[in-house]
Structure 1
Amino acid sequence: MKWLPLLLSLVLFSGMSFGLMAQESEPVIRPVAPRAADTLVMLPDGSTVHVELAKTEAEREYGLMGRTSLPQGHGMLFIHDRPGQYGYWMYHCKIGLDIVWMDEDHRIVEMSPNTPPCKGKASTCPSYGGHATSTYVLELPVGSIKAHDLQVGQTVNFNLS
């Protein structure tokens, strides 16, 4: 039994080494099939946006990765389990986006217009937003924030039930 502590040490050290190596490599994000854009969101100016919902961790992680376009009037609504400060990045995104953070009352608390895609490695992709507490994040085509004159403090209407 004298070898048991040595064996445990080796296993723990191996696990830590593997974890460090995994952090240095590019993250593996499993693809998620596109969801139907069958939820309507009403912007403060009265226009509507057809959104896909990203409710699970896997859906939120994958988001709009790999998309080569996002038509006007369409987007993705990310639903977090609880209020928090959620930074978003554009890793593996091929298109720029306007990003809008909302609190649990659907009030806009932060925005990132014209957010560029990240064409480099994960370690080179900056994070956007996450400075204000939010529950929902809406990704829209570039130019939507300006076109709809979105402002912090305005309310976005949607029903998730």
Structure 2
Amino acid sequence: VAGGDGAITINGNYTHSAANQIQANHNLTFTTTGALTNQGTLAAVNALTVNAASIDNRAGADLNSASTSVNAGGAITNAGRIEGDTVSTQSASLANTGIVIGNNVTLNARGISNTGASAALAAATQLNLYASDGLSNTGGATIFSLGDVNIAAN
């Protein structure tokens, strides 16, 4: 979206294929009422907000902006990258086998799992992991911050 902001709303499920990129030169809001399967790139220079019933960010896929917000009523499954200066997620569950990285990262879910040697939840300044039903970090996964790490029930 050259020149500024973009807002995309889709009724139902949507699969964003690996060859596709949707980018905005300022803000991008991407909303679907169903499941989002991202195999490509959703990006914005300033702020990216992604809203869906559930989100499957596949290996090789990227959600990226200066301020990245990813929200799902159900599960967020990440095997790709979710990144930005500021990153926040809100979901019923978050299953990460990919990379979630930023300066300030805040993840909110009933349950958070970070699984596998390639998985990382990382922050340069502050990493906040809020999981009311539990947090698991298994299989050589990394939880890392150069600054603070806060883990709590939300």
TM-score, structure 1 as length reference = 0.29
Which structure's CA Rg is the greater one? 1
Higher helix share: 1
TM-score, structure 2 as length reference = 0.30
Higher strand share: 2
